[in-house]
Amino acid sequence: MGKKRRYITELDGIRAIAVIMVLVYHLKLALFKSGFLGVTVFFVLSGYLITGILISEVEEEGTIDLKNFWLRRIRRLVPAVMSMAVVIIFVSAVVNRIIFTKGCKDFLASVLGFNNWWQIFNKISYFEAAGVPSPFTHCWSLAIETQFYLIYPLILLGIYKLVKSRGEGRANRGLLFAGVTLLLALISVILMIVLFDPQQDASRVYYGTDTRAFSLLFGALLAILWEYRMVPRRLSASVNMFLGSVSFAVLLVMTIAINGSSNFWYRGGQLKQKAKDSESEDTICTADLTDDEILEGLNLLLIGDSIAVDVTDDFYEIFPNSVSDTKIGRITSLGKQVLDSYIDEKKWEGEGVIFASLSNSPINGELEDIREKIGKDMPLFLTTVRIPHDTFEEESNSKIKKFVEENDHTYLIDWYAASEGHDEYFDADDTHLLSAGAKAYAKCIKEAVLDAYKKENIEIPKSRLVSSTDTSTDSSNDSSKNASTE
């Protein structure tokens, strides 16, 4: 290992900016539409710092001690990742069963450094998560850096040995390092452009090591240019201030002015919005669609209590473009408040509401309020309840059925009838669902929705539909959109 490199304190300011960008993005502050660029800043910094270390070592020692390099990375990263992962698993096991379940599935991928490919192969969307994602979703970026640490040192060492065997000098080595790194970065950019489809979710190109490596590689290129003195190493304070100010201003403008869903980020400057922004201009009626196309195209809002919590995964398998917002202990009046927030604050605009928050309290006028809130023409689905240990079960079901009969565009999901005589559906309390019960409940919703929308003949945006040959592979694209909490 070569001599210890000077700690660059100035980079701490850049790290702070990147952290703030990521935080404001995930806080969904409207002013910072593209705060996720902070991750790109981190990638560039990592590529620069790691490559600087590797170049210094290979030039001073004539090789790269790969074993030592990788062990240093492991000692630096793994203890922190393991501590974070273990705490998340234990805390989520106590406070939120859905987060715990998702975390258990993603644990190994996150700790072992392939979280990004795990999410790609499981078709987990980054941009359209409507609620509770996996607690390890953020590990996709660390996975990309981990893979970079594994592969890029091998490339540099291979180039060095090849050039050294031919007797080339330091200058030529620098040129070859720079040329290969630039070529790999351009290939990564091209892959992002080619693989990006504005009609599909952008998560594949956002998560991919192949499509995101250019950020790390451009950082690496900067380090090579610096280490081999291909750029001026001493600039006046005024020039440094000017360059830094311009760079910061450009980054700030991009973060504020350009929407995170813009094609600009994937097609090099095309400032048009994704198809989602113009869905209403290109629609097709449900009467002209197959059952699978109807289920896939609908954007329904499911608001539920603990019974619906158990059904969330099955719900998204059937309705991949819909939203499930469920919570243990949610009473009917609170469910109505949740609906209000989606319409008034989140500006949700879909094709129907499934209200399944009816098991924890008697009904006291909420159904009329819900019907009025969503408008007289929007389909409303109400679920009957099976709560044998509560005295209001029969009264609630009677009110629900009567309301459905007396109101247009209002439909019944008769869970009480569908579950009659099926003890295998229920946990020990005869109310909450086992796996078989969750699937049966979801099927009950599916059948009621299909029957209703074949009559409603509403319009669905074409952009939500895929060809029948793609349905089987894309139906789980949004399984992470669960808005459920416990």
pLDDT in tens, 384-429: 999 887 678 899 999 999 999 999 999 999 999 999 999 999 887 7
Angle between helices 209-227 and 37-61 (to 10 degrees): 50
pLDDT at 38: 83
Comparing CA positions, the residue from 393, 325, 388, 391 lying closest to residue 358 is 393
Comparing CA positions, the residue from 344, 359, 446, 343 lying closest to residue 397 is 359
- Residue limits of CATH 3.40.50.1110 in the chain: 282-474
pLDDT at 473: 37
Residue 111 bridge partners (DSSP): none
Statement: the pTM of the whole predicted model exceeds 0.85: no
pLDDT at 275: 32
pLDDT at 482: 45
Distances (CA, A) of 23 to 133, 255, 384, 485: 16, 13, 42, 21
Four-point Cα dihedral 4, 6, 9, 12, nearest 10: -40
Instruction: List CB contacts of 5: < 8 A, sequence separation 6 or more.
Output: 52, 53, 56
pLDDT at 267: 60
Four-point Cα dihedral 311, 313, 318, 322, nearest 10: 90
pLDDT at 54: 94
User: What dotted CATH number matches 282-474?
Assistant: 3.40.50.1110
pLDDT at 101: 83
pLDDT at 28: 65
Residues in the chain, total: 486
Residue 356 bridge partners (DSSP): 304
Residue 295 tokens read as 């289920």
Sign of torsion, CA 78 79 83 89? Answer: positive
Residue 414 tokens read as 């008769």
pLDDT at 280: 37
* Ranges of the chain whose pLDDT falls below 50: 1-2, 128-131, 268-281, 467-482, 484-486
Gap between the Cα atoms of 227 and 240, Å rounded: 18
pLDDT at 200: 63
pLDDT at 5: 60
pLDDT tens column, 80-139: 999 999 999 999 888 877 788 888 888 999 999 999 999 898 877 665 443 456 788 889
